[in-house]
Structure 1
Amino acid sequence: MGIIVQKFGGTSVADASKIKSAAARAVETFKKGHQVVMVVSARGKKTDELVALATEITNNPSPREMDVLLSTGEQETIALMSMAIAELGVAAESMTGTQIGIITDSAFSKARIQKISTMRMHKALDAGRIIVAAGFQGRDENYNITTLGRGGSDSTATALAAVLQADECQIYTDVEGVFTTDPRLVPSARKVDSITYEEMLELASLGAGVMHSRSIEFAKKYRIPLRVRPSFSDGEGTLIHATHEEPDSVVTGVALVRDEVRVTLLKIPDRPGVMHLIFSKMAEKKIAIDMVVQNVGEDGLAEVSFTVPQNELADTLTAADAAVKELGSGKVRHGTNLSKVSAVGRGMVMHSGVAAQMFKALADQNISISLITTSDIKISTLVDREDADKAINAVHSGFFLDQAVTKPLPIGEETEQEEETVLVARDRSEQEVISRLPSMEDIVVSEVELDCEQARVTIRNLPDNPGVAAHVFETAAEGGINVDMIVQNISRDEHASLSFTVPRDDIDSCLKLMENLLQQWPETEISHDAQIAKISVLGIGLRSHTGVGQKLFAALAEANVNIQMINTSEIRMSAVISEKDSRVAHDVLSDTFNL
């Protein structure tokens, strides 16, 4: 038997009875022959109570002292949990982040793990003790206590599972597992038995609150199977893993981010280096911008929009104003009371008409769309916040996620045992893993991909009405046209601009279909460019690591490559450029990310 890491969140350790219940689970696993590492959060609302207490003292607390204060919540829990385990007849040893050996950078309140020592943990495990580790915390090189940000206990658990090469990392929570969407918003949501790292990473970054995205990054990098399990029952929960199976549905889940705001930079120069400047200003403030939408420039001017959490609007506007000032032209505008609805699924790659299906579901509920952005396995739209609940229900039912799916026999895999071998196959040498982790949270860019087989279509002056986007992409799907990147920026004077890419061989057919469709809207203008290329950076956590976009756009600016369109996600950042710049762009990005 190997090592099992078990993480219990705040609601799972909220009081004495729940602490005893969690202790019993750990002891049960221990008695089956496993070595057990428990990672626990602060009890219930303890962190919120500590934050509220600090605000009674000062309106401007030191970030360092806030980390010292907040770390006490987990220290309380590890002591109580160790006592509960001892009462069940098994030895336990509590460890703070510092005692574990978690070393982070010095970014108080949102520190990133740099390395972990395993010597003390192995000594305790080999002595037959259950380790009870404080989640959410570590220390920097100067022995300052640091915290990893909300959800940091998940990051602690998966990081420990990675360096210890655990057989499984089990995340105990107050839900039965991962659902097709939030069952509090959509009563017909279903639990899924398994989901891939990529899908879960996108859903977590898009607002699915079951898992923290940084923890999934760790698991994906080092192929640690994650299992989200209910703390209140014996259910098996949901396995998050790597798989080679064909997806059994087009869309796996739908997510909602309720409190989004949009920032738009208007009339900025359409030249190389502009996006680098914007991303640099955001990265300086560690703002992870989302739904980055740049449509094709016009008359030497471009327009870029992106979304950020509402609580980061002030810092974002400051950074945007600084970028416009340095550019020497442009205006900054923003929109509030917005929400983002996203559909995620590996099956999107293999099916045409997915965008049309989503947009039709929204149009049928008379919901307007402002921004659209896509990746290989994700479509995101920005809607009015008052339509958020209606929108997520519409998309969920529009993809039939309320209906159970019969899982097909895995292609090329004969037995359950063979499938398990694929799921858990990974490097078992702990020292090799540690040697690859001079910085646990270094940006991981695995590939630069170049696609020179696409063409771009841009439609301007589309009516900004529900159903228009659905009509466009239904027409493409009915004509057998497979649409890849989709970008829609905010409307101007009740009109929208929409761009998308299609296979170059299909451009003539696509244009004919669009021209016929657009006759009903005489003000529209359609243009195209068959000499484009899509350059993409692939990896893990690309959006949340704010330096990726900065490095990508800096490299393209240095090579004097201009950008026409942008799409971003957690696992892919893509830009449409001129085909004549494609080889230079590929080479410079490969060098930049050491590939």
Structure 2
Amino acid sequence: MSLIVQKFGGTSVADAEKIRAAARKAIRAQRDGHRVVMVVSAMGKNTDTLLTLADQVSSDPPARELDMLLSTGEQVSVALVAMAIDDMGSRAVSLTGGQIGMKTDNSFSKARIQSISTERIERLLDEGNIVVAAGFQGIDDDMNITTLGRGGSDTTAVALAAVLGADACEINTDVDGVYTTDPRLLPEARRVDVISYDEMLELASLGAGVMHSRSIEFAKKFGVPIHVRSSFSDTDGTMIVAESESDSSAVSGAAMTADEARVTVLDVPDVPGKSLQIFSAIADKKIAVDMVVQNVGQDGKADVSFTVPRTELMGTLRAVESVLHHVGATGVTHDDQVSKISVVGNGMVTQTSVASRMFRALADAKVNIQMITTSEIKISALVPRSQAATALRAVHEAFELHRRPSDAKSWSKIKADREVDADVEQVIARLRNDALEALTLTDISMADGQASVTMFGVPDEPGIAANMFETIGNAGIVVDMIVQGFDGEDGSTSVSFTVEESDLEKGLQVAKEICDRHGMRDVRGTKGIAKVMVSGIGLRSHTQVGTVLFRQLADAGINVQMISTSELQVTAVIDSDRAAEAIENLRQAFAVYTGQDDA
């Protein structure tokens, strides 16, 4: 008999009527021949209400007690859902996180799942019950109640689907699937039938509210198909699986992360170990850093810029200031009035000119770009918050995301064709023995024979980036990694990009033409560099990954010239004659960090 995990978010169980509707969905699935596990969030705004109460009695509530308080929201929901199922003539048992065997570490409010003991759930299912499990919570080794943080119920649902070997994990929510962007911001946004784990992971980290990134990490890691659908209709929704909706489209979605903050550490000595000192201090506070830009330095100094969630700005500044003297930097600046606009798509790997197309769209909309980072399947630009909505609409229109691709895969075909590649029993055995949310590395590799071109004194004006990369593209130069960061002089920026070493002379020639055209200060080319790449699942949520990478390079005396980050990969540009040594050191270090024999 097949097994389905159904997750119902807070809006789906916000009142008695919606609780009964959720109960009917579960009963219908059971009567269709499925065994059913429900994962339920707290009702509506219940968690916010509890947080308000906590604030009223304590200015700084202990994290343990806050988890104890917040966990009660889900306990109310699961009991009411089980009562509703019983009232409709079916059998149900509600369970807390501890009762379903959800063991976590003791990081209160941000706990990670270590293991799930499924014996009780399986026994209750065998007895004909619908199991109603509390999302968002677990227990640590000392039996303390812990919570998983934002999106915790999604993570609970996907984790249960993984360890139970479920045929599907249904995420029932207040929207009817995943859209090309947030339909509340752009009414023309289109629902997609299919989206890949990698694309959804990037979009989730960028603020797409349908799914949380940790749950997608689980799904990708263990091959769990996720079906996102409406709690209030029978619309097919969206399947999140290994493949993309379209093989021809470069971009599958766009996202706006509205509340970002930029931090720039000024005049960092351009020697090994300085990035390690900065990012170790931030990682110790479990703050996830994004859009890291360490550009090519001048006069032995480089500025290091990065973004963090606006809510984490004060903690980040305290962490950076605590090591500023040891780093030898001259100061730190910040801006909390910025937003991040990103486009995501697996098709970027095989298609050129995606970046210039995005930059042209922003230029035509008169949106100024302050920072740029790229990865294999994502391009992000930092823009003024006041221009964020305009920027999102511009890139959505530029890539015609409102139109369904001619080769789009259908939901029904994906569902019919999907096959489980791994042996289910082996996967389940591994899941029960491993720490479920441990970092999983897929590759540590290098790309040799690289060169970089850097333009200094780039005017901080709309349209510059578009003109630069259209000119570069028209010259037939294929650009890989792009970073734009603050230059520290007159508000200008510096822009670096990597090319094949054979294209360096042509790249420098074109860059000098651009420099003369826009009155830039200088152009520099560097050959004999390599990209060292650490790829895996959980890179951003495991905030120590960057620390491990930078420590190994620093201990070996290897200087980092450029940095680029994404959900799936951290890339450092270094001297090519040290690349093989760096790769070997990183493999050994990450083997120890992940507890694996082979990184």
Do Structure 1 and Structure 2 share a fold, with TM-score over 0.5? yes
Residue equivalent to 2:19? 19
Q: Secondary structure at the match of 1:562?
A: coil
Question: Alpha-carbon deviation of 1:422?
Answer: 4.9
In structure 1, distance between residues paired with 2:117 and 2:580: 43
2:464 is aligned to 468
Q: Which runs of 5+ in 2 are unaligned?
A: 592-598
Aligned to 2:435: 439
State the match for 2:555 in structure 1. 558
Equivalent position of 2:445 in the other structure: 449
Q: Which residue of 1 aligns with 2:64?
A: 64
Instruction: Indicate whether 1:509 and 2:506 are aligned.
Output: yes
- Cα deviation for residue 423 of structure 1 reads 4.9
In the TM superposition, what is the alpha-carbon distance from 1:104 to its structure 2 partner? Answer: 0.7
Amino acid aligned to 1:463: P
Give the counterpart letter for 1:537 in structure 2.
V
How far residue 557 of structure 1 moved from its aligned partner, in angstroms, is 1.1
Q: In the alignment, what sits opposite 1:397? A: 397
With structure 2 as the length reference, what TM-score do the two structures score?
0.96
Task: Measure, in 2, the Cα distance between the counterparts of 1:135 and 1:213.
Answer: 16
- Larger mean CA deviation between 234-243 and 514-523 belongs to 514-523
Name the amino acid aligned to 2:219: A
1:525 to 516, 522, 525: 522
Report SS of the residue matched to 1:501. strand
1:451: how far off? Answer: 0.1
Q: 1:11-41 CA distances to partner (integer Å, 9 max, x unpaired)? A: 0000111011111111111111111100000
Match of 1:23, SS? helix
Query: Paired residue for 1:490, among 486, 490, 501?
Result: 486
Question: What residue in structure 1 maps to residue 568 of structure 2?
Answer: 571
1:281–1:311 CA distance, 2 compared to 1 (3 A): same
In structure 1, what is the Cα distance between the partners aligned to 2:445 and 2:382?
A: 28
Q: Match for 1:528: what amino acid?
A: G
Deviates more, 1:264-273 or 1:129-138: 264-273
Residues of 1 paired with 2:122 and 2:432: CA distance? 19
Q: Match of 2:486, SS?
A: coil
Q: Deviations over 1:49-77 (max 9, x none)?
A: 11111111121211111111110100000
- What aligned pairs does 1:308-347 form with structure 2 within 5 A after superposition? 308-347=308-347
Which residues in structure 2 correspond to 1:83-482 (within 5 Å)? 83-243=83-243, 247-407=247-407, 420-429=416-425, 432-434=428-430, 437-482=433-478
Q: Which amino acid aligns with 1:592?
A: A
Q: Deviations over 1:267-291 (max 9, x none)?
A: 1111111111112101110010111
- d(CA) in 2 for partners of 1:278, 1:370: 22
Moved more, 568-577 or 491-500: 491-500
Distance in 2 of aligned mates of 1:250 and 1:128: 47
Inter-CA distance 264–517: structure 2 relative to 1 (3 Å threshold): closer
Aligned CA distance change for structure 1 residues 339 and 87 (closer, same or farther; 3 Å)? same
Q: How many residues align?
A: 591
- The answer on whether the counterparts of 1:452 and 1:532 sit within 8 Å (CA) in structure 2 is yes
Q: Is the 8 A contact 1:94 1:131 kept in 2?
A: yes
Bigger mean CA offset, 541-550 vs 515-524? 515-524
- CA deviations 1:232-260 (Å, max 9, x no partner) are 11011110011288623110111111111
Q: Is the 8 A contact 1:222 1:426 kept in 2?
A: no
The question of whether the paired residues in 1 share the 8 Å contact of 2:262 and 2:305 is answered with yes
The 3-state SS of whatever aligns with 1:477 is: helix
Counterpart secondary structure, 1:575 = strand
1:413 aligns to what? none
Moved more, 491-500 or 545-554: 491-500
Question: How far off its partner does 1:351 sit?
Answer: 0.9
The Cα shift of 1:431 comes to 6.7
Change (3 A) 1:20 1:336: same
Q: Residues of 1 paired with 2:466 and 2:348: CA distance?
A: 16
- Residues 418 and 151 of structure 1: CA distance in aligned 2, closer, same or farther (over 3 Å): closer
1:234 and 1:107 map into 2 onto residues whose CA distance is: 38
Q: TM-score, normalised by structure 1?
A: 0.96
Aligned-residue offset at 1:480: 2.3
Q: CA deviation at 1:510?
A: 2.2
Partner of 1:544: 541
Gaps of 5+ in 1: 411-415
**Which whole-Å CA distance do the structure 1 matches of 2:117 and 2:248 have between them?**
41
* Distance in 2 separating the partners of 1:541 and 1:364: 36
Counterparts in 2 of 1:152 and 1:232: CA distance versus 1, 3 Å: same
- CA–CA distance in 1 between the matches of 2:151 and 2:56? 24
* In 1: Cα distance, 2:177 partner to 2:148 partner: 24
Give how far 1:589 is off: 1.0
2:580 is equivalent to residue 586 of structure 1:
no
Distance 2:537 2:125 in 1: 31
Instruction: Give the 3 Å change call, closer, same or farther, for CA 420–589 of structure 1 in structure 2.
Output: farther
SS at match of 2:154: helix
Evaluate the alpha carbon distance shift between residue 244 and residue 147 of structure 1 in structure 2; reply closer, same or farther with a 3 A threshold: closer
Q: For 1:451 and 1:155, locate their aligned partners in 2 and report how far apart those are by CA, in whole Å.
A: 34
CA contact (8 A) 2:117 2:432 kept: no
List structure 1 segments (4+ residues) > 6 angstroms apart after TM superposition: 416-419
Secondary structure, counterpart of 1:65 in structure 2: helix
How far is 1:495 from its partner? 2.0
CA distance in 2, matches of 1:452, 1:165: 41
C-alpha distance in structure 2 between counterparts of 1:434 and 1:12, whole Å:
33
Structure 2 CA distance for partners of 1:3 and 1:115, relative to 1, 3 Å: same
How far is the alpha carbon of 1:475 from its aligned partner? 1.2
Letter of the aligned partner of 2:506 in structure 1?
A: S
Judged with a 3 Å threshold, the aligned counterparts in structure 2 of structure 1 residues 338 and 160 are, in CA distance, closer, same or farther, namely same
Structure 2 counterparts to residues 44-55 of structure 1, below 5 A: 44-55=44-55
Provide the secondary structure at the position in 2 that maps to 1:97.
coil
Kept in 2, the 8 Å contact 1:42–1:76? The answer is yes
